[in-house]
Amino acid sequence: MSFFVRLDCRRVALLLWVVAVLVITVMVAARPSHRSAMIVYHQAADLWMAEAPLYANPLEYNYLPVYAPLFAPFHWLPVPLGDVLWRWMAASLLASGLWRLVRVPGHDAGLAFLVATALAMPLCLGALRNGQANALVAALLLHVAACLPREQWKTAAILIVVTIAVKPIALTLLLLAPLVYRKLIVPLAVALAVLVALPFALGAPSYVMAQHRAFAANLRICSAVTEHRFADLNGMLRTFGAEIPSAVSIAMRVVAGALTALVWWWTGRRMEEPQRGLWLYLLATAYLMLFNPMTETNSYVIAVPALALWAERVLSEPGGRAMGWVLAGIVVAMSAFSPTRSSFKLFWYPAMTMLFLGLVSWFLWRTTLNNRQSYARNHPKN
């Protein structure tokens, strides 16, 4: 009987993904350019092939130069076929990534897949509808988090580097993961070398170098934005009319990054799989949401799968049901505002992310403390 329950749950979850993708496909086919972030990607592919500047308009194309030629295969397809396939790719990788992460020993994978899907999907739909690269980044990070506990080092390294090619903010995971997963270091070095060389194989060296210099300049501009349209820690403060000075904000990002790395190094070595990989996933994505000055509300598609998976995981832990319901409630509370364009989301999303991270940290500390006390009672010193 339990086999059929699991099978039904998995099918229901897959049906949710299929229905969502079909609805998005109809919307894109009817109005390909409406609310589409892919216009920027198409323009970048054209500019690359014409050897024209990619960064002429600051804050518009915020990707590595190599992203333009990598997107070209979708650009060459007829409209809207390329745009639809792009969205299908992101959605299928999101769904399969969730499925891989819920398949752990002793776990009802079908039910877990349905719960994770129900929690994560609402905040994924906006990015999928718009064709944003954030959805693909979220999907790739899911698969990285699934590869690490399985010791698939080469695959994980390739996926991390591909994610950086899609969006440079994934550099956070590249810096954090090897602190605990030491066997990643060599595969990552090789994959990074390929990434560095790849654009020179796809374009004239002088043009490629010029675009990398322009990318560095654009990055400096992005690090000092003051517009009230981003949902990072500064976005929370701007909601109330406050602002962290640019130099202080940059220093905070560095300090927070160092603290995140320290927490990951200290806790990750003491965890077992698959909890360790999921903890890294949560830490990295929470840091990105809170300290990337270009975090948009749709950027939370990157973090919400981690939130959904942790809520589901805590729900299934002995003694974790109450906490699990609270964590699930936080994800639902974030999703409640996803269909709106309210500026309140610029405060709400980072605030809920901070609360979620704090509660998971407390749950892990409490669980570890209880385990140690139980071990001490069962193994008294002579």
Total-model pTM: 0.92
Q: What is the pLDDT of residues 256-310, one digit of tens each?
A: 999 999 999 999 998 999 999 999 999 999 999 999 988 988 999 999 999 999 9
pLDDT tens sequence across 39-64: 999 999 999 999 999 998 877 899 99
Angle at 120 between CA 126 and CA 316, to 5 degrees: 175
| 107 DSSP assignment | S
Query: Distance between CA atoms of 124 and 305, rounded to whole angstroms?
Result: 9
* Residue 69 to residue 81: CA distance in whole angstroms: 18
Write down the pLDDT at residue 22: 97
**Lowest-pLDDT range of 131-145, 233-247, 255-269, 366-380:** 366-380
Query: Which range of residues forms the domain containing residue 221?
Result: 2-378
In whole angstroms, what separates CA 218 from the centre of its chain?
22
Work out the average pLDDT over 162-189.
96
pLDDT of 219 higher than 50: yes
pLDDT at 344 (0 to 100):
84
Q: What is the pLDDT of residues 331-342, one digit of tens each?
A: 999 988 776 667
Instruction: Collect all residues with Cβ–Cβ distance below 8 Å to 286 and sequence separation of at least 6.
Output: 303, 306, 353, 354, 356, 357
Predicted local confidence at residue 373, as pLDDT: 42
Cis peptide bond N-terminal to 178, omega within 30: no
Backbone phi, then psi, for 124, in 5-degree steps? -90, -25
What confidence score (pLDDT) does residue 241 get? 82
The CA distances from residue 291 to 174, 241, 302, 308, in Å, are 16, 18, 14, 21
pLDDT tens readout for residues 148-166: 999 999 999 999 999 999 9
Domain count of the fold of the chain: 1
**What is the pLDDT confidence band of residue 317, given thresholds at 50, 70 and 90?**
confident
- At residue 372, the pLDDT reads 46
